[in-house]
Amino acid sequence: MEVALVGITGYAGMVLYQLLQNHPNVTKIHIYDHNLNEPTELNTILPIFHDDHTEVLPYEDSDIVNDNQVAFFATPAGVTSKIASDYIEANFPVIDLSGDMRLNQSDYEHWYHKPAASQRDLDQAQYGLAEFELASGHSYIANPGCYATATLLGLAPLIQQHLIELNSIIVDAKSGTSGAGKALSPLTHFTQVNDNLQIYKPNTHQHIPEIVNELQSWDINVSAIQFMTTLIPITRGIMATIYAKAKPGVDGIMIDKAFSQTYNDKPFVHFLGEALPDIKQVVGTNNCDIGAIYNPATNTVTIDSVIDNLLKGAAGQAIQNFNQLFDYPESSGLNLQTFLP
């Protein structure tokens, strides 16, 4: 299969390119860039790919549709909202790693502070949380955000089986610096991030409405969550620590059973019981490792959900959606090993 990759200069795009190179069903990767006027070798644009002479082509939607069978967009917010309609009208398969097609118009403009795609186009996009929203049967997949993936996988069994008080959900999520992207900012300057913890976007992170929308698809009575993000001095990884009050009669055994049943047949989600995971055990993989502890003294459930933000939180889940879209084995191209040590 020949595939298009639009946007390779960001971290998620680079990782996605590496995954596509090793996918058994991908025979050719055509790379496109909106900022180019003429074909340019990849190693000129990104010297890290020093032996790769693949031509990066100027973006042209007709070329993408004519020369490929699917397109991946690893572009910043505000790009695909302007061009999605061309692919939707052509019923051409797209996997979009940006946030442009995850929300309705009003939510997108409120949280992203950019003009939204048409509501007609947004209605055609399928949210692609791969464990629960199957990509097959859809042509435009909105790949979930990294914080949303870790949080939703951590909450799914509790919400779907109605085990917690919905007004008690608190999420304390921490991310490495690659989650902030490559753009320079004072927040990610080495002297600022090193030996430091920084809370950012309090109550304003753009993944909040995405999380709430998916929770509402499982239980319409979810109205809001308390969600906080912290930048930590590591490169890759997210840890979402989730707190909620258990409903009357719910105990640790019921919680353990809910997680075990939910993820028993999900190859990339590992429930570890009360063994709370750390970030390092998932970095380099498409895995989400989850632990859960119930405290009867406070009637509180604590969930620890960890992912690699560039893989399960972006490029890896995009490949998972790609596999579902074209009926490939779910783990194709994703047999990855944890980075050691």
Residues designated as active site? 146
Bridge partners, residue 19, by sequence: none
Name the DSSP letter for residue 246. Answer: B
Beta strand 269-271 pairing with 288-295:
parallel
Assigned token pair, 230: 């912290």
Q: How far apart are CA 58 and CA 78, in angstroms?
A: 18
Q: What angle do CA 237, 4, 141 make, to 5 degrees?
A: 60
Cβ proximity of 14 and 312 under 8 Å: no
As a whole number of angstroms, the distance between CA 302 and CA 241 comes to 7
- In one-letter notation, the amino acid at residue 288 is C
Backbone angles phi, psi at 195, to 5 degrees: 55, 40
